[in-house]
Amino acid sequence: MQCIFIGVGEAFDERHPNTSLLARAGGAGMLLDCGFTAAAAYFRHAPEPDSLRAVYISHFHGDHFCGLPYLLARFKEEGRTRPLAVIGRRDIQGKVERLLKLSYRSVLETPSFRLDFHEAGSETALDVAGFRLRFAPSAHSQPCLAVRVEADGASLFYSGDGRPTAETLALAQSAGLVAHEAYHLDRDVPGHGTVDGALDFARQADAQAVALVHIERGLRRNGRERILNRMERAGDLRALLPVSGDTVDIP
């Protein structure tokens, strides 16, 4: 399995598209989150945009969800016919349909391709397009589900937004790659993770590598050295600070 970092930014970073990951296996793609600035970056960095088979939405903040009108309307405009699975928390279908009604009604009213909705929950395991998905709640300002994606014997954990919980730690066990939000450096503030916390989390999960994403824009701009210092102290753990377009092969 391959992971392409479509975006690595937080909500309002003007330089880095919203955090969004593309998992690829067996010629199929699964997009993890699609925020308002991630959708354009998807078409910039996805090797074969039309090979996308599914989109997972971790929660309904705009920087994770509001790129869907762009993505779906562009697919329709380009004549897509292959169905697309859309996976997310309770009421994913209702929320996506409301968003489309307000923006591009024609995607719903005269569709060129079918949307297949799947509701995710902590007790759910889903098999979609050759990927197995499982979920666990993080600690964020609105309910958010971290996800574990498995294909070809490889595993990718993505936190979505929020601090780690016992459930997300269990979900991330022995993952080939943990992509964790690290909004703050070390300030323990409710609702978001930290660089230190993400490194500790990956170590505790016995992951093979960790990628830090969704870093607060001021910290990313002015605190790069401090972040790299923390990463150097991660010991045997492979720690990455990816940018848009970076690709990681997950063993």
Which range, of 25-33, 126-134, 154-162, 199-207, touches Zn ion by CB under 5 A?
154-162
Query: What is the enclosing helix (H) or strand (E) of 220?
Result: helix 217-222
Q: Which is nearer to Zn ion, 61 or 134 (CB)?
A: 61
Q: Which is nearer to Zn ion, 38 or 46 (CB)?
A: 38
Site string for Zn ion, 203-242 (x = CB under 5 A): ----------------------------------------
For the CA atoms of the chain, what is the radius of gyration? 17
* 161 part of the interface to Zn ion, by CB under 5 A: yes
Minimum CB distance to Zn ion, residue 78 (Å): 28
Within 8 A by CB and 6+ apart from 218, the residues are none
Site string for Zn ion, 97-136 (x = CB under 5 A): ----------------------------------------
Residue 109's CB is within 10 A of a number of other CB atoms, namely 9
Residue 218's CB is within 10 A of a number of other CB atoms, namely 10
Minimum CB distance to Zn ion, residue 124 (Å): 21
Site string for Zn ion, 40-79 (x = CB under 5 A): ---------------------x-x----------------
Total residues binding Zn ion (CB under 5 A): 3
Which range, of 25-33, 112-120, 129-137, 156-164, touches Zn ion by CB under 5 A?
156-164
- Measured between alpha carbons, how far is 208 from 233 in angstroms, rounded to an integer? 15
Q: Which is nearer to Zn ion, 17 or 176 (CB)?
A: 17
Q: Which is nearer to Zn ion, 87 or 107 (CB)?
A: 87
- As a dihedral over the C-alpha atoms of residue 103, residue 105, residue 106, residue 108, rounded to 10 degrees, the angle is 120
Cα separation values, 86 from 142, 159, 166, 244, Å: 20, 18, 27, 23
Binding-site ranges for Zn ion (CB under 5 A) = 61, 63, 161
